[in-house]
Structure 1
């Protein structure tokens, strides 16, 4: 597989319905069955993915700090998009921010390795913590940044051959 640019990546919001995480396969099936609304005019998809907390212990006998891996955190994704008050995905993000619920998210990358193959997709659940407006200066496009506090692992579906 070759490397790719982020061009063509699409971000989607689904409802807040539950996902069966008893296995990755069950969760992916649940995610794939959802109805998705694309979040329009995304400029920057931010970064996300698991990182273990740094748990330290200071030993008295040798004066060394030991580093251990603690709880995993997929992070807070800062999604930046051009403000479009009529965009259905942006409207859904703003509504989700008004709740305390986890919402379902999908990120599809334009990375199919060849014709007849699917793109890779990431699925996760997150709370929409904020949807802030960025006005800037005269020649700036008015943007918004939605902070998505990811509360689950990221499930990735790799590209697959779609031919029978």
Structure 2
């Protein structure tokens, strides 16, 4: 088993994308997206589906049953050091002012020698972007919340081709 640290993870924002059924890699590559890296990321949060619990209690057997309901990929919370010159941070700030969903891409730092890294793709709305200032001995932060509105498309890392 091989595990990797989050160090080296890169996050990108793409263009406006429409919601639909479960997305595939082709939805993010045809036509090709223009990806802008969001720099100075300190923490990347999490994404992934969780099913809403629906419960039903039958009177005759007094048993509560749990049924899987709608799925949600949640809200990804990203923390960055504020860099007013970073095009990725500027794109996120602009996207927060819009009602549209945007494409997002994560690139892991897990590529085998000469190979390609794992990637994750999803669409979401930039729900908030807030600056955090804290105390004198801290870096000023940009806190970003992305409401994920799709499945997460997983692309596995690949070995080098001979």
**TM-score bracket, shorter-length normalisation:** over 0.9
Question: What displacement does 1:26 show?
Answer: 2.6
Length-normalised TM-score, structure 2: 0.92
Unaligned stretches of 5+ in structure 1? none
Residue number in structure 1 paired with 2:149: 151
User: Partners of 1:76 and 1:22 in 2: how far apart?
Assistant: 18
- The verdict on how the C-alpha distance between 1:8 and 1:23 changes in structure 2, with shifts beyond 3 A counting, is closer
User: Partners of 2:40 and 2:79 in 1: how far apart?
Assistant: 9
Superposed, 1:85-100 pairs within 5 Å as 85-100=84-99
User: Partners of 2:22 and 2:160 in 1: how far apart?
Assistant: 27
Decide whether the 8 Å contact of 2:19 with 2:149 is kept in 1: no
Q: CA RMSD in A?
A: 1.9
More strand per residue: 1 or 2? 2
Residue number in structure 1 paired with 2:41: 42
Decide whether the 8 Å contact of 1:19 with 1:30 is kept in 2: no
Partner secondary structure for residue 14 of structure 1: strand
Length-normalised TM-score, structure 1: 0.91
Unaligned stretches of 5+ in structure 2? none
Matched, 1:12 2:12: yes
Question: What displacement does 1:35 show?
Answer: 1.3
Residue number in structure 1 paired with 2:131: 133
User: Partners of 2:57 and 2:20 in 1: how far apart?
Assistant: 40
